[in-house]
Amino acid sequence: MTQPVTIRDVQVITTQPSGQRLVIVKLITSEPGLYGLGCATFTQRFHAVVAALEGHLKPFVLGRDVSRIEEIWQMAMVNGYWRNGPVLNNAISGIDQALWDIKGKMAGMPVYDLLGGKCREAAAVYTHADGREPQEVEDNVRKFMAEGYRYIRIQMGGYGGRGAALAKPDGAPDGAYFDPRGYMRNMLRMMAHVRGAVGEEVELLHDIHERLSPIDAVQFAKDVEQFRLFFLEDSLAPEDIAWFRMMRAQCATPLAMGELFNSPHEWLPLITDRLIDFIRMHVSQMGGITPARHVAATANMFGVRTAWHGPGDTSPVGHAANLHLDLWAPNFGIQEWCRFNELVYEMFPGLPVVRNGYMYPNDKPGLGIDIDEKLAAKYPCQDWVEGWTQTRLPDGGPARP
CA distance 23 to 42: 7
Active-site option among 35, 112, 159, 177 = 159
Nearest to residue 167, comparing CAs of 401, 395, 398? Answer: 395
Q: Catalytic: 159? A: yes
- Given a contact cutoff of 8 angstroms between Cβ atoms, the answer to whether 186 and 156 are in contact is yes
As to burial, measured by CB atoms within 10 angstroms (0-12 exposed, 13-18 middle, 19+ buried), residue 193 is middle
CA distance 328 to 96: 18
Output the CA torsion 48→50→54→60 (10° steps).
Answer: 70
**C-alpha Rg value of the chain to the nearest Å:** 21
User: From its phi and psi, is residue 36 left (phi > 0), alpha (psi between -120 and 50) or beta?
Assistant: beta
Alpha helices, H only, 121-280: 134-146, 180-198, 214-223, 244-250, 264-272
By DSSP bridging, strand 358-360 and strand 353-355 are antiparallel
Continuous segment of H or E residues that includes residue 177: strand 176-177
Active-site option among 112, 177, 209, 319 = 209
CA distance 166 to 119: 49
DSSP-assigned states of every residue in 343-359: HHHHHSTT--EEETTEE
Continuous segment of H or E residues that includes residue 91: helix 86-107
Q: Catalytic: 209? A: yes
Catalytic residues: 159, 209
